[in-house]
Each structure stands twice: as C-alpha cells, then as structure tokens.
Amino acid sequence: LDDIDRELCLPQHVEMHSFRDAIDVNYQRMGLTGEELSGVPLEDLRSAARQLVDALRLRSEYMELVGGVFPSTTRNFLIGKYPSNLPKSASMSYNPPEPPKDHWGLDQPLPIYEQIFDLERHRGTVAVIDKSTKEIFEPLKKFYITREKYLKDFNWLNRICNEGPLKTFCYRRLTFLQTHFQLHVLLNEQLESAEQRSVPHRDFYNIRKVDTHIHGLLFRQAQ
C-alpha cells in the first residue's frame, strides 16, 4: 500500500466505544455487510480520496494560521493515529455550568500597549506593521501567506470542486449518511425523546421544542 492507501485504511482492528455504548441506551442498531460500492471506478476513487485528504490538510494549515481549532478526530485519521484505548464509561452531567460574571469584559479597563502598530497593505494583503521598524511585526510573520499562495490554493479548490468523479463520490457518500441517519431517527426517535425528557434541567442543548408561533408566543408573554 502506498501512503494514501495506508492513511485511508479503516481502523477496523480498534475496539470502538462510543458515548451511547457507555451509558447503555438500548437503541436499535444497524449493520451493513457485503462489498462497499462507492459509485465510481477504483482509479477515480483513489484520485478523489487523495484530493479530499489534500483539501483537509490545506484546511488544517489555514485553521492553524487564523488560530482556529481543527477537529482532533480528523487530524488523527489524516496522520494514521487511531486511539487504542478509548474510554468505556462516561458520566452525564446534570448541572449546567455557571455563566461568567463579566463575559464581555465590560468591567475591565482598556489595556495600555507599549508598542503601536499600523495596518498597511503589503503585496496585496493587509499586514500589521511595527511603527518603530516599518516592517511586519516579527512574531506575526509566520501567520502571513503570500497572495500567490492564496490564489493558488483557491484555484485548486475550485478545480477539484468541479471534478465529476469527486462530486459523484461526495454526493453518494453524503446521501448514504443522510439516509442512514433518517433510518436511525425512524427506529429510535421515541427512545431519544424519552431520554431527553429524563434530563432534570433545560438548557440550549436539550430543548425538545421551540415555540415559533408568533401569536401564541406574544400571548404567553402578555400573561
């Protein structure tokens, strides 16, 4: 197997334990057997897989530049690192966290900085310029990319988005996942609803129903 095949191998040798397994919810589960068909020839599938992996790596690179968080699960699968000892138990918290006293920092004084910076255009991009040296601030240089690199990456993403085999593979895969989830909802909707009702408190994460009826909502507020 080459590098791309090794990276895309499923970790079937790993005993997976999900959150649902840990809390022992008696859901109806589904299993698929037989040969997996992607809907595209094998060579096109290899090409599509390489392009998807390269796109994910490119996203990871840009997320790091802007200080974002790239999903750790995706990163581990990209580098071929599979967890060998996932936790087999989980605890469900029934106490919502306390909100911070000064979330927006309105009670804190404005900071006073020793250095002063300007925003200037530098080869087609906006850069933070140190007024004392008239150059890009040294600690921030690693977060800048050239206009040529950005346009190159942008054009490459546009090109792969218009490739037929890749679009076919992604469409079939997303359709399969959506149908799989809809089947899960049909089988386990009542169990999930009962589990949500058993939670003693209500917050953003377990609200079962939102009243969007304008007249009814105004009537309740008037009361």
Q: pLDDT tens for the chain, 223 residues: list them.
A: 455 554 444 444 444 444 444 445 678 887 777 766 666 788 888 888 899 999 999 999 999 888 888 888 888 888 877 666 555 544 555 566 677 788 787 888 887 877 778 888 877 778 888 877 878 888 888 888 888 899 999 999 999 999 888 888 889 889 988 998 899 889 988 888 887 777 666 665 566 555 555 554 444 444 4
Q: What pTM was estimated for this model as a whole?
A: 0.60
Say what the pLDDT of residue 51 is: 92
Give the torsion through C-alpha atoms of 130, 135, 138, 143, to 10 deg.
100
Say what the pLDDT of residue 55 is: 94
Say what the pLDDT of residue 54 is: 94
Enter the tokens of residue 101: 């006293």
User: What is the C-alpha to C-alpha distance for residues 79 and 131, in angstroms, rounded to an integer?
Assistant: 41
Say what the pLDDT of residue 80 is: 79
Query: CA–CA distance from 43 to each of 10, 15, 78, 113, 163 (Å)?
Result: 19, 30, 20, 57, 14
Residue 184 is given by DSSP the state H
Give the orientation angle of helix 42-65 with respect to helix 147-161, to 10 degrees: 150
User: What is the C-alpha to C-alpha distance for residues 132 and 115, in angstroms, rounded to an integer?
Assistant: 8
Say what the pLDDT of residue 67 is: 83
Say what the pLDDT of residue 87 is: 52
User: What is the C-alpha to C-alpha distance for residues 189 and 217, in angstroms, rounded to an integer?
Assistant: 27
Say what the pLDDT of residue 217 is: 44
The CB density around residue 203, as the number of other CB atoms within 10 Å, is: 9
User: What is the C-alpha to C-alpha distance for residues 166 and 47, in angstroms, rounded to an integer?
Assistant: 8
Query: CA–CA distance from 114 to each of 66, 118, 133, 136 (Å)?
Result: 24, 14, 14, 17
CA dihedral (62, 67, 71, 77) positive or negative: positive
For the chain, the straight-line distance linking the first and the last C-alpha, in angstroms and rounded, comes to 69
Enter the tokens of residue 180: 């799989």
Enter the tokens of residue 193: 């609803």
